Amino acid sequence: MYNLDELARKWQESWYEDLENSSYHKLYELGQIDPVFELLVTAYTQPDRYYHNLNHIHHLLTILARFSQDKLRDPMAVFLSIWFHDFVYDPKLADNEIQSAKAARELLPNLGASIDLIMQVERLILATQGHRASPEDVDQCVFLDADLAILGADPVTYQAYARSIRLEYSWVSDSEYQAGRIRVLESFLHRDRLYYTDLLFNELESIARINLQQELVSLGG
């Protein structure tokens, strides 16, 4: 379960440590929360966000913390991609990833983010469209693995996740949802591996496949 004060502290400290962003240091020292963070919190706390909310962000940040920062090419880009990747989330639309990347491109300059950083954030967010990473792209692998870490949760947590996804698609009939969800589950199960990083592959791969298979059976797939 997320703690908003903790999330705010992580947000501030990450920017504070970004030496390119000297303008943000003053905000941090004054203990102020910038408007961009407030927009993110507002987006992720919308009442129809049963899964894609701040608990999801907290989970991804927890996974990210398990990876050595010096192994990442651009730790800040991964951090910001976590925050922005579901900034726009409407299950009725097909371009949420594109719109979320666009939002990052429009908002991050307000915090003094460099063009290179913004481009990396956009690239990582857009990778969630197909959830496919280049194995040699460590940032992409860590980010996408973190986003799918929920699949390898314990059965109770996984079932709660599955129910939350169903609630986000409450406007879809049971038959339509089952058909669509079965396609998603089968597409994951047909992959050679769900996780690109050895850490999460060794820890979560087998559990995730069991969870996916059990949900598939429950849906009649």
CATH of the domain at 54: 1.10.3210.10
DSSP 8-state secondary structure symbol assigned to residue 127: G
The domain boundary residue, chosen from 132, 147, 162: 147
69 shares its domain with 103? yes
* pTM for this model (two decimals): 0.93
Question: Of 126, 147, 168, which one is at a domain's C-terminal end?
Answer: 147
Mean pLDDT of the chain: 92
**DSSP state letter for 108:** G
Are 5 and 67 part of one and the same domain? yes
pLDDT digits (tens, 9 = 90+) for 54-76: 999 999 999 999 998 889 999 99
What is the domain extent for residue 169?
Answer: 151-221
Domain match, 54 and 66 both? yes
The answer to whether the CB of 53 falls within 8 A of the CB of 140 is no
Tell me the C-alpha to C-alpha distance, in Å, between residue 124 and each of 67, 82, 150, 169: 17, 9, 19, 25
Do 40 and 59 lie in one domain? The reply is yes
Higher-pLDDT residue of 139, 113: 139
Report pLDDT for 164.
Answer: 98
Encode 144-173: b = buried (16+ Cβ within 10 Å), e = exposed: bbbbbbbbbbeeeebeebbebbbebeeebe
**Between 199 and 68, where is the model more confident?**
199
- In this structure, are 116 and 188 located in the same domain? no
pLDDT for 25 equals 53
| 139 and 167 belong to one structural domain | no
Token representation of residue 71: 């192994």
Q: What is the CB neighbour count within 10 angstroms for residue 141? A: 21
Cα-flanking dihedrals φ and ψ of residue 69, to 5°?
Answer: -60, -30
